Structure 1
């Protein structure tokens, strides 16, 4: 009797090991073998074995599914909007017109497509796509006023990012961040993002003297999202909400026209970095690099909470035994840094970070990174060359509902999921409090320090940490971040320590 009891687990363990040794092609089963679509998608996640810095080929190492189109669509919309925001923020103080912004956005869409295919689709399928650093946008006017050069800024961000990736600093900081801190960060980002998009949609309604349209669009979007949640089809929220929001707004008389015609941007880097063409700035000098140095340090320091939030959301959404296909923070930092360096050299305006408008919808749809990444590259190329999709992507009824249901509401849900148990609510509340005071990077670094010291959150967790992990690393991170923020004038009520950054 005892032999039988002991033999079963050993046999099961051996069978599990044998299964792990099989390739994706051997473990793949057709969707018809499963009772539900969700079971099939979860099996696909558990079957993949991505290879780092070696070729990962479609149909051999992963497959394309209809669900991959959803994150690809959301990512393309997000990319057009975010790069447009960065280009426009730079263009205004430099005296560059709308033509520059449009052409540079098209250029960036083509640049990012190459790196998506090379890294996330081929060589590093656990690296999330290199997106746009949204929290950096408010700093850009200060950078320009201080005499900062966009190429110098981008090259330093890429260099510091590579240093953090090679030293595995990103993953170490992620491991030192408790569930309470992660959950609070997700709650803050989701709440602030949702409010901002609702306000933008309401402001758009007032600007066209049709304030009733945003109200109808938002109510219908809420009802649609609730129904999709009930039917367990939440992965369809982005396309259906965009279709619903756009259709309702147009049917109710909201103005819309396609104005961006097909075409290609100038693909010559020398054009973009000429004295009287492109940026009209020429090449950067040593002084330009010195001016942007603190901003570049801050930009890379702000990566960790951004990357961490995306990875945590993916972990919550994926089933068990999917660690191999989950986003790797250090690999994502490596690819983002390399993409930043080459993008800046070529003349693009993008400052990169983890691509949230891709990974969050992909996690909801229970899809791994690579297949949807290739579709994102394809959609970006189509949008850049065709032009008309760019007009649709930035129309407020489409844009706002896509970001709300595709990114910010899921972040809220994930944050609440992470703060349901234990003493996580203390840390979560402090993150929200501190992030509201300054920004999420400040809130994350301060709360991580307090949490690891055992002043808040789980005391047992703190007691198990080494001295290095309890206060040295979190303390250094907090001091560096706070010092740089104080230097460039980001702390409320405190003038910039380096006065040149305000003139």
Structure 2
């Protein structure tokens, strides 16, 4: 078994390898991170210039996603744009110092960075309309997520998910993400009658990505694509200005949860926790397919012997749950999940979690304090291109790779259709049940799972999630059951 000294004794300098790819893969193979014990740069891992790629992508993604969640809350609650800016800065400092650097960088490099729960954004108006409170929502999500992680429920659900189901989910999420970003880019450009700018940027992005694939330097897609998109937009006359000045956000939780300061909501009461309960269950249910997809993406890009540096799904759930509770208690509006805009480019660049996590934390702190980089990160050309080439295109590629062999295409097709009908949680839970029962996919696989893995656990998960989704009105054409009870 490896110990701390093994990495230093087994690693070799770059000059010992014919290519940099071989060097990076060997680094992954000899690393042995220590879970929940101190890992130190130099002793347990090294910094490489490739680590800047996921760090840049993660920082851009963090600004964008936290701003999207907080601004959606602010719109529903009638809060100002200044509130959004200050809360995003606050959240970035909380995440960077307490969890990104400390946990993923030093204490447990097998835990992916706790990022932002994008799929929950469309539900925020419904959460507020139902009488939900941001702190109550955050605490409940965090507690449920931590329980799922500590009981190893996340890894259990991952084992019950076949390659076909996971591959179909990645294909769906990748395609939906790409089409969404293309639509947003054209919407931005047409706002100042510059639709041609969006077209030119996207064509250039396609050519750039194809060229990087050809020269096997796809890990450069995010920094190169972001710079290229910004350059083209500037050259063609797209409007842009820096408006967020340097500053430090209010760090006092009493300010954020005051009756007439910060959120202007005061502390939550018991009825607020009841109101957010269905949404919290659904949010944590979304974690399993999301976390599974991130781990699988690492497996597809890392060498087979690099098992020790793969993200641990349960540890990541515990970290994300703890981060959620702490962030909400302090006054932040973020909703946590596994950090996709970090782990996907990190896997492409063939880098472990730890080193890039430290750089991500540093960039998040600098961005939050300076302010100006936040404006550039959320500028649509930079944002959309970074997400397309850094997250959604690679997800589609990984999905295609997972559905090449065996009877995986049946399960992949069903999960895509079911996800399009309701949402990815419904698609995943339904298809796992059908797949494990042997109705689709590999018939022999289901027989090896036993009754518990074949239908009891998948059936319970599907039933509970359907009940939650029916209660809050997520089935198309079906009124929310909660309204019926209120009447």
How far off its partner does 1:146 sit? 1.3
- What is aligned with 2:87? 104
Give deviations 1:272-320, integer Å, cap 9, x for gaps: 0001000000011111111111111111111101101111111101111
- What is aligned with 1:394? 378
Match of 2:18 among 15, 27, 35: 35
Are the aligned partners of 1:146 and 1:500 in contact in 2 as well (CA < 8 Å)?
no
Match of 2:33 among 36, 41, 50: 50
Does the alignment pair 1:428 with 2:412? Answer: yes
Does the alignment pair 1:87 with 2:73? Answer: no
Q: CA RMSD in A?
A: 1.3
| CA distance in structure 2 between the aligned counterparts of 1:301 and 1:210, rounded to whole angstroms | 41
Are the aligned partners of 1:143 and 1:501 in contact in 2 as well (CA < 8 Å)?
no
- What is aligned with 1:11? none
Give deviations 1:414-442, integer Å, cap 9, x for gaps: 00000001000000000000000011111
**Cα distance change of structure 1 residues 326 and 97 upon mapping to structure 2, 3 Å threshold:** same
| CA distance in structure 2 between the aligned counterparts of 1:295 and 1:237, rounded to whole angstroms | 35
- Count of equivalent residues: 486
TM-score normalised according to structure 1 size: 0.95
Does the alignment pair 1:327 with 2:306? Answer: no
- What is aligned with 2:293? 309
Unmatched runs of 5 consecutive residues or more in structure 2:
none
Are the aligned partners of 1:496 and 1:502 in contact in 2 as well (CA < 8 Å)?
no
Does the alignment pair 1:454 with 2:405? Answer: no
**Cα distance change of structure 1 residues 233 and 214 upon mapping to structure 2, 3 Å threshold:** same
Does the alignment pair 1:64 with 2:30? Answer: no
Match of 2:150 among 141, 147, 166: 166
TM-score normalised according to structure 2 size: 0.98
Does the alignment pair 1:354 with 2:353? Answer: no
Match of 1:203 among 177, 180, 187: 187
SS of the counterpart of 1:304?
Answer: helix
| CA distance in structure 2 between the aligned counterparts of 1:69 and 1:500, rounded to whole angstroms | 52
Are the aligned partners of 2:4 and 2:43 in contact in 1 as well (CA < 8 Å)?
no
Give deviations 1:93-124, integer Å, cap 9, x for gaps: 11101000000000001000021112101111
SS of the counterpart of 2:142?
Answer: helix
| CA distance in structure 2 between the aligned counterparts of 1:452 and 1:35, rounded to whole angstroms | 45
**Cα distance change of structure 1 residues 166 and 217 upon mapping to structure 2, 3 Å threshold:** same
- What is aligned with 2:201? 217
Are the aligned partners of 2:5 and 2:43 in contact in 1 as well (CA < 8 Å)?
no
| CA distance in structure 2 between the aligned counterparts of 1:345 and 1:45, rounded to whole angstroms | 37
Give deviations 1:392-427, integer Å, cap 9, x for gaps: 000011000000000000000000000001000000
After superposing the two structures, state which structure 1 stretch, 134-143 or 358-367, moved more: 134-143
- What is aligned with 1:26? 9
How far off its partner does 1:498 sit? 0.2
How far off its partner does 1:22 sit? 5.7
Does the alignment pair 1:261 with 2:229? Answer: no
- What is aligned with 2:211? 227
- What is aligned with 1:12? none
Match of 1:113 among 96, 121, 128: 96
| CA distance in structure 2 between the aligned counterparts of 1:402 and 1:501, rounded to whole angstroms | 45
| CA distance in structure 2 between the aligned counterparts of 1:468 and 1:226, rounded to whole angstroms | 45
- What is aligned with 2:129? 145
Does the alignment pair 1:194 with 2:153? Answer: no
Unmatched runs of 5 consecutive residues or more in structure 1:
1-16
